[in-house]
A and B are shown apart, each in its own frame.
Chain A
Amino acid sequence: MKLYDILDLISIGFKADRFKTLMSSLGIIIGVMAIVVMLSVGEGIYSGVSSQFSTLDLDIIHVIPGRFSFGGPPARSPEEPAKFTDKDTKLLENIPGVKNVAPQTSAGVIVSFRDKNASATLIGIDPEKEHDLKSKISQGRFLTESDHTSIVIGSGVANGLFRMKISPGNRVRVYYEDGHMDFRVVGVLREEESSGIRAGNINTQMYVTHKAMKELLGRENYYYGTFQVTVDDPESVDEVVDRIKLDLERYHKDEAYDATTARDMLSSLMSILSMIKYALAGIGAISLVVGGIGIANVMMLTVKERVREIGVMKALGATTRDIRLQYLLEAGLLGVVSSIIGIALGIAVSFAIGSLAGLPSAIKIQSMLIGMLFGALSTIVAGVYPANRAAMLDPIEALRSE
């Protein structure tokens, strides 16, 4: 029997029973959809994240109080978070391979401009150590060591936070808890692509000197919130991290601190991404298995329904091979059609997720082919048993059946 004749017969059957055909395909449709979504969204997240990380400096180590954790709840530890002071700055600066140590302390504050309030992040810095920030000034100037009432603001604060633009020379008032301080804006930073991972969004931050920060916070003991340590050679970053952890032990024996690199963050983020990917893959696999069982079930019913027809076909000279092929192809065709529908739905869902989450959509031809492959494969596997049952029917028994 020729292939297109078999396909012709099968398609007549499908048309005759559209509802059953659709219902039996649903599991495969959903399974293929999940696979396409998994691959596309996974790819989208991956390319989105790696494009952010490509701008990330690999020669920077963040030293933080407490334990580093990313993506989950903050790691709890029995120790107090480390209290970083200038002693630590000196210590870090003396570690071989360290080029620069920039201590920062940040706080959530209310900023007031012409009687309008908004919240922002204020960061106390050491102007001499912030070469990177200094190079990002677009208007005005950067802070100097002696600035006490000057503030540098991110472009988002300057242009987006208030209805009016803030320019160098303007005055803002900053509230923290019960206290407040007045600052004169001396500089505005250039708008930066959000780096997402590192230290929040640079555009919505404001910078003052540690001296001013200490006064605003009004605390007797002023501690640094983080050190940004720059190393000479990005290759040696891991050694320096080890050394930092070891040396800080001297001052912070029973306190919690951690030193992390962009690569650490990258790898923990990637592990979260792969978890998401595996979850989607699991959903896809389960639906394909369930879908395959559904197809097998429907095929068994079909074979049962058509016992007599199969007997007739055999009497007319159909070989076991003809019958087996017919029912395998019937399952396979069901799989291919379901897969195409599943791929179409998968693309639609991926686009929807992509635009909702603001990720670049990355629907590759490979994703579709993989979806198709798995869909067709699971239906064909599901079709093997029913097709064999059909092929092995005894024509005499089959013709006798009602």
Chain B
Amino acid sequence: MISLSDIRKTYITGDAELPVLKGINLSIESGDFLALMGPSGSGKSTLMNIIGCLDRPTAGTYMLLDRDISKASEEELAMIRRDRIGFIFQAFNLIGRISVLKNVELPMMLKGLPRDERKSRALKLLESVGVSHRADFSPQNISGGERQRVAIARALANNPEIIIADEPTGNLDLKSTEEVMEILSGLNREGRTIIMVTHNPEITKYCNRVIRMRDGRILDQSSVEQS
């Protein structure tokens, strides 16, 4: 599903070159629940941005769903993000000036779905993550756990195969963390591929693979037997 071969990313600031990814080889199978770990500065965010089509590698080949993404245009990347990838962020990144419901509708708006279809799907998604009673609230007026569940509903709006979660539980308490991980785990069981950056070793128990990074390279990979 995802295959990265010799992916490199180098930032150039003035005359100095700063290599962040130094040759990543990784393949992710459909249905994987993968945890990406490593100290800050190890390049895991950069790698995730590349996998999420927000960024392009300096060198290497990135095949996503049998397409060579390294050569895709900006426009095509936006389409892939919209239709194939759902993002979940540590800071939730809901848009504060519009309602919870509208936030979930946003990706469908971008796709151009008709209003009624959008609304009923958004409500269904909110219900599936247990926050349909917050549909007309402003995201600013609901709890952190609720926000992240709304964000998950939004990530699912266009029914993507891949979900990218950047420290999804980093801002949550223990109870919300478990709730959110249960939801993600459920999505994984439905067959969605999840790639998650985390610092919390506790939650890797939900994953089937853990990848550790250091200094722009993959340190080791381990498969976790799912209980």
Contacts and interface: CB of A to CB of B under 8 A. Distances in A.
**Do A and B originate from a single complex?**
yes
A319 B52 CA distance: 15
Nearest to A12: B98
Interface residues of A, number: 24
B49 A396 contact: yes
> From DSSP, what is the main secondary structure of chain B's interface residues?
helix
A2 B109 contact: yes
A315 B110 contact: no
Contacts of B87: 315-316
Contacts of B54: 314-315, 395-396
Nearest to B80: A317
B95 A309 contact: yes
B74 A320 contact: yes
B110 A396 contact: no
B97 A16 contact: yes
Nearest to B87: A315
Interface string B70-105: 000011001111110001010001010110001000
A13 B97 contact: yes
A67 interface: no
B154 interface: yes
Contacts of A276: none
Nearest to B118: A5
Contact of A316 (B55, B110, B112): B110
B111 A317 contact: yes
Contacts of A311: 93
Contact of B82 (A312, A317, A320, A395): A317
A318 B93 CA distance: 15
Most buried by A among B75, B78, B89: B78
A321 B79 CA distance: 12
Please name the 8 residue pairs, one residue from A and one from B, whose CB atoms are nearest each other, closest first.
A317-B82, A319-B78, A317-B81, A5-B109, A312-B93, A316-B107, A315-B87, A16-B97
Interface of A: 1-2, 5, 9, 12-13, 16, 308-309, 311-322, 395-396, 399
5 contacts: A12-B98, A314-B78, A316-B106, A317-B107, A318-B82
